[in-house]
Amino acid sequence: MTASLFGPDEFAAVAVGRPVRGEFTYSIPAELKPKLAPGLRVKVPFGRSTILGFYLGPAPAPSDAVRKKLKPITATLEAEPALTPDVVELCRFAAQHYRYPLGEVLRATLPPGLTKAQEEKQSRAEVVHFAIAEDGADPSTLTRAPAQQAALSYLLAVGGRANVDEVAHAIPGAREHLRALVKKGLVRIDTQALVHGVVEGMGSARPAKLTDEQASVGAELEVLLDAGGFAPVLLQGVTGSGKTEVYLRIVERALSAGHGALILVPEIALTPQLVGRFRSRFGPSVAVLHSALTDTERLRAWQRLRRGDVKVVVGVRSAIWAPVADLRVIVVDEEHDPSFKQDEKLRYQARDLAVMRARQAKCLVVLGSATPSLETLENARKGRYRHLKLTRRVDDRPMPALHLVDLRLERPKTVETRDTEPPLLSEPLKQAMRETLEKGQQIILFLNRRGHATFLTCEVCGQNLKCSECDVCLTYYRASGRVQCNYCGRAHPLPKGCPECDGPLLQLGVGTERIEAEVAEAFPQARLGRLDRDAVTTNERLTDLLSSFARRELDVLVGTQMVAKGHDFPGVTLVAVVLADTALSLPDFRAAERPFHLLTQVAGRAGRGADAGRVIVQAYNPDALPIAAMLKNDFEGFSDAELARRRSLQWPPTSRMASIRFESDNAELCARTAQQLAAVAARAMPPSSHGVRLLGPAPAPISRIKGKTRWQLVVKGPTHAAIAGPLDAIERALDEVSSTVKVIIDVDPGAML
């Protein structure tokens, strides 16, 4: 009888912002009932605390016994839902697919200021302040004011005009530096009232004419955009073919019809030119979202998007959750980049979520790359995605000429000094560098290893110098005279001898610091810079270095994969891959794919201006598939061979996979827990005819990091549905696992290390 007194709207389904799975039922006070809407942030009692929750909708009426124990929602935290219906829908998918608590997924989508049980505060954005470089402003005149020089360099790198807030997040203390630049007559500040929804500079920086391929691809995308509906497209374009202009045109068309657009890039701090192009084309109607912004800036950009004041957002993977109004086009630039996979907490793949969001929003999604991921390529080949191509560079610029240096033949057969390896600048490479420098052109040298020596070995006992907390070798940095672990960051001075036997230590393996030293010795007149995580520890240093190289104030840039991230330097005519073999032997099924992508991308930095480019690839194993295929510009041959290999071994994309990782300070307990949960998964396995396999448990390839022992169990099968049974069983058993063992379920892992 009691149940009939209650309707379904008397009870609320709520996800709480805690790492607990499932939805919880709360009663609804009468005064709050009119205020509730799905996606609204609410305050709810949970245990002994009052915490953040998210109202999802009415909950079914519980039994009498349960009803008596229900607690009411305490308060609502906003007038309008923070989470739009499409973002809530995407979060539901992500929580289920990546096996992560829904409340934590919902909380992860929000900017700072909305992730706690506090009422929303509106950020002020009534006016926008723009810093504008005056004509002829030259950073080279500011050698005695390096901070001002960095601020002006950043401004020029993004087109000479930028939001002051944007400059301030990139350059610490930039507001003060900009005021000083204004006094010197190098910069002026333009304060504008923000007219919501008005697009500034729609037609600026447009090329006079598109290439025939750009025009053809653009026309096809416009047809798909205008037709409406879910339309996934792989845009495969060689480096320098003008993919960005295609993105700009399709976004422009969506905006002209009043629709919204979302553009994802791998690392926004490394692509100021891309952000500058969108800002120069669309002005303040572009929001930028990434973690380098201040909390206030992120909240302001997010609120402008949610209100519909702006309809274009450029951001890194976390921007996939942005509340873009009337979303009609999504672009994922460099979709192959591993940065789109998050490797902590909610381990989502932003590229895959972009496709799912486009499916839910019934809109166009463009996945762009010169070297598509095999997952995306397989979808295109099976007809799930439309496949469009740009095969030629803009202005018919030739692709760079590719040359191999076989280090087995070129390197010296003997070593004059016993504590170092032979030089890595081969004679053919040094000759090419001389010719390039004599012409006043620029050079990029690529090596995806940091430091001076990547490991040290005792000449007497043969032991490697390893980190005390991680199962990895220490890297030697000659500039600081220290050895450091690149996993946990522990560092100490270089020992005088082997810790085991006091024998002499040989410095083996090479890194960017050593290449920099070799270049300085061979070409003392060359202006030299290094781009890696050790050399550019702040956004200020990064921006200053990239700006200096773009202004041709540097002749040679030595760097890791950071030099391959979409930069456009017209003065670069020579790119050298100093050692192409470095990642080929990693214990990962993507050990061939990742180097091919990286080598092709870094080679694409050459010859993007008026002068032709060339690429020199040095390798000990030039017959390895990624190197041989890259030297032939043979993406099709590489992808065919690699997909065939993956198919024979049942690795993605020809299968679906999840990795279950175990970490603990207690090595014995970690191993025992891995074995126990493996047994749980084995009991839940479907019949063998379903093609599901368990691999392990076994110690992870890097068995110890930051003092924690690591084990790994892999489940793979033909579909995600096929592997659901073992994963469900493991999830149910997690409550029985000791709190001293961390268990991580990683669906569609990006790497196996």
Residue 567 has pLDDT above 80, yes or no: no
Radius of gyration of the chain (CA): 28
E strands within 607-705?
A: 614-619, 656-664, 693-705
- Whether 63 is covered by a domain: the verdict is yes
Q: Strand pairing of 455-458 and 312-315?
A: unpaired
pLDDT confidence bin for 463, thresholds 50/70/90: confident
User: What is the model's pLDDT at position 255?
Assistant: 92
**415 or 325: which leads in pLDDT:** 325
Q: How far apart are CA 478 and CA 684, in angstroms?
A: 53
Mean local confidence (pLDDT), 580-603: 87
The predicted pLDDT at position 418 comes to 42
Q: Which of 213-222, 524-533, 568-577 has the highest mean pLDDT?
A: 213-222
Q: How confident is the model at residue 4 (pLDDT cuts 50, 70, 90)?
A: very low
Same domain, 485 and 344: no
Mean pLDDT, rounded, for 481-497: 89
Confidence of residue 421 (pLDDT cuts 50, 70, 90): low
> Given a cut of 80, is residue 201 above it in pLDDT?
no
For position 196, what pLDDT does the model report?
Answer: 36
User: CATH number for the domain including 724?
Assistant: 3.30.70.600
Distance from C-alpha of 482 to C-alpha of 382, rounded to nearest angstrom: 52
Enter the pTM of the model: 0.85
Task: Give the pLDDT confidence of 375-392 residue by residue, as tens digits.
Answer: 999 999 999 999 999 999
User: Is residue 125 pLDDT above 80, yes or no?
Assistant: no
Structure tokens at 347: 């381990």
- Point out the domain boundary residue: 49, 84, 119: 84
**Is the same domain home to 231 and 298?**
yes
Q: CB of 328 within 8 A of CB of 259?
A: yes
Please tell me whether residues 532 and 606 are part of one structural domain.
Answer: yes
- Contact predicate 452/477, CB 8 Å: yes
Interatomic CA distance for residues 647 and 641, integer angstroms: 10
- The residue from 52, 84, 116 where one domain ends is 84
% of the chain with per-residue pLDDT over 90 = 56
Q: Which of 454, 497, 459, 498 is nearest to 477 (CA)?
A: 454
Which has the higher per-residue pLDDT, 393 or 234? 234
Cα–Cα distance, 513 to 559 (Å, whole number): 9
- Find the mean pLDDT for residues 554-580: 86
Look at residue 109 and tell me if it is in a domain. no
CA gap 336, 642 in Å, rounded: 15
Mind spelling out the 3-state secondary structure of 575-632?
EEECCCCCCCCCCCCCCCHHHHHHHHHHHCCCCCCCCCCEEEEEECCCCCHHHHHHHC
Burial 227-236 (b: 16+ CB within 10 A, else e): eeeebbbbbb
> In this structure, are 423 and 550 located in the same domain?
yes
The whole-number average pLDDT for the span 280-302 is 80
At 67, the pLDDT band (50, 70, 90 cuts) reads confident
Percentage of the chain surpassing pLDDT 70? 93
Q: What is the tens place of the pLDDT at every residue in 128-138?
A: 788 999 988 89
The residue-averaged pLDDT of 210-236 equals: 95
Q: Are residues 181 and 224 in the same domain?
A: no
Does residue 263 sit in the same domain as residue 375? Answer: yes
pLDDT digits (tens, 9 = 90+) for 696-720: 999 999 999 999 999 999 999 999 9
Do 665 and 602 share a structural domain? Answer: no
Of 701, 718, 698, the closest CA to residue 753 belongs to 701
Across 327-332, average pLDDT = 97
Whether 714 maps to a domain, the answer reads yes
Please say if the pLDDT value at position 308 is more than 80: yes
For 656-666, how does the pLDDT look when each residue is reduced to its tens digit (9 = 90+)? 999 999 999 99
Q: Are residues 547 and 575 in the same domain?
A: yes
* Alpha carbon distance 400, 429 (integer Å): 15
- Please check the confidence at residue 502 and state whether its pLDDT lies above 80: yes
Q: Is the model's pLDDT at 264 over the cut of 60?
A: yes
Asked if the model's pLDDT at residue 52 lies above 80, the reply is yes
Q: Interior CA angle at 7 toward 2 and 13, to 5°?
A: 110
- CATH number, position 36: 3.40.1440.60
Residue 562: which of 536, 585, 584, 581 has the closest Cα?
536
CATH code where residue 268 lies: 3.40.50.300
**Domain annotation covers residue 100:** no
| Same domain, residue pair 324 and 250 | yes
> Would you place residue 457 in the very low, low, confident or very high pLDDT band (cuts 50, 70, 90)?
confident
Asked, for residue 516, whether it belongs to a domain, the answer is no
Structural domain harbouring 579: 401-449+524-646
Q: Is residue 206 part of a domain?
A: no
How much is the pLDDT for 203? 36
> Of 34, 52, 36, nearest to 102 (Cα)?
52
529 and 421 share a domain? Answer: yes
Q: Tokens 């005819």 map to which residue?
A: 689
CB 223 within 8 A of CB 291: no
SS3 710: strand
* pLDDT on residue 200: 40
Structural domain count, the chain: 6
pLDDT above 90: residue 261 = yes
The pLDDT of residue 533 is 81
Buried b (16+ CB within 10 A) or exposed e, 17-26: bbeeeebbbb
Check whether 243 has a pLDDT greater than 70.
yes
* b (16+ CB within 10 A) / e for 556-581: bbbbbbbbbbbbbbebbbbbbbbbbb
Q: Would you say residue 646 has pLDDT above 50?
A: yes
Alpha-carbon distance values, 6 to 60, 75, 454 (Å): 10, 21, 69
Residue 94 maps to a domain: no
Residue 448: phi and psi, rounded to 5, are: -90, 50
The token pair that represents 404 in the structure block? 């191999």
One-letter amino acid of 233: V
Q: Is the pLDDT of residue 54 over 80?
A: yes
Same domain, 424 and 534: yes
Taking the CB of residue 623, how many other CB atoms lie within 10 A of it? 8
Average pLDDT of the chain is 88
Any domain includes 90: no
Assigned token pair, 719 = 């579909």
Nearest-angstrom CA–CA distance, 516 and 444 = 11
Regarding whether 387 and 435 lie in a shared domain, the answer is no
At position 33, the amino acid (one-letter code) is: K
Which of 646, 668, 703 delimits the end of a domain?
A: 646
Please, which pLDDT band fits residue 126 given cuts at 50, 70 and 90? Answer: low
- Residues 569-593 have a mean pLDDT of 88
Tell me, what's the pLDDT at 347?
A: 96
